[in-house]
Amino acid sequence: MQEPVHVYPFAPEFQNPKFGAGVLNHGVFLQLVTHALITDVPNAHDPLFLLRLEHGLTDIVCSAHGPKQSHNNRFQYRIQNGQAHLDRSMAYPPLACIVTIMRRDEFLRRHNFALAQETTHVITAVNVIHGHEHDLSNSLPVSG
């Protein structure tokens, strides 16, 4: 019988960040991660590992950058610390994301943090890949 998997979203990308990458739909994202841990991850028993998600990410995660110029000029800008940021709705669509995951015992060894007893894995980071990393000179960070 398969060991139950319960994932806790510790990563800052779950905390409704105003700037940069973020998880927009926590429930669906946690379902994707949990499903992958149960079915697809051969190293899920390692203390720390990376999980790559590539499908069904639109409207679930948001990348950290968007295009600097637009043909239709419908961008909305915000200024933060003297830097222009695009509205989050203008972010490049996500192609994939790399999720950093720790097993419960490894997380507790490194952090003084109380977890629910049923927690088996903790998401510590979510890196959203948008496919335009090669040319960030033509992009702006997003916020929202």
**Mean pLDDT, to the nearest integer, of 78-90?**
67
Q: Retrieve residue 49's tokens.
A: 């590992």
Report pLDDT for 44: 73
- If pLDDT is split at 50, 70 and 90, which confidence band does 76 have? low
Domain-located, residue 118: yes
Q: How many H-runs (helices) and E-runs (strands) does the chain carry?
A: 2, 10
CB atoms within 10 A of CB 70: 11
Mean of per-residue pLDDT scores for the chain: 82
Which residue range is the domain that position 19 belongs to? 7-68+75-143
For the segment 103-141, what is each residue's pLDDT rounded down to a tens digit?
999 999 999 999 999 999 999 999 998 876 555 555 555
Look at residue 1 and tell me if it is in a domain: no
- By DSSP bridging, strand 96-103 and strand 48-53 are antiparallel
Domain count, the chain: 1
14-69: per-residue pLDDT in tens?
Answer: 987 677 788 999 999 999 999 999 988 777 788 999 999 998 898 999 888 777 66
- Judge contact between 24 and 59, C-beta under 8 A: yes
Question: Is 2 inside a domain boundary?
Answer: no
Q: How confident is the model at residue 72 (pLDDT cuts 50, 70, 90)?
A: very low
The pTM score is 0.81
Amino acid in position 113: F
Q: Note the pLDDT of residue 81.
A: 63
- Whether 104 maps to a domain, the answer reads yes
SS3 state at 107: helix
pLDDT value, residue 26:
95
**Residue 126's beta-bridge partner residues?**
99
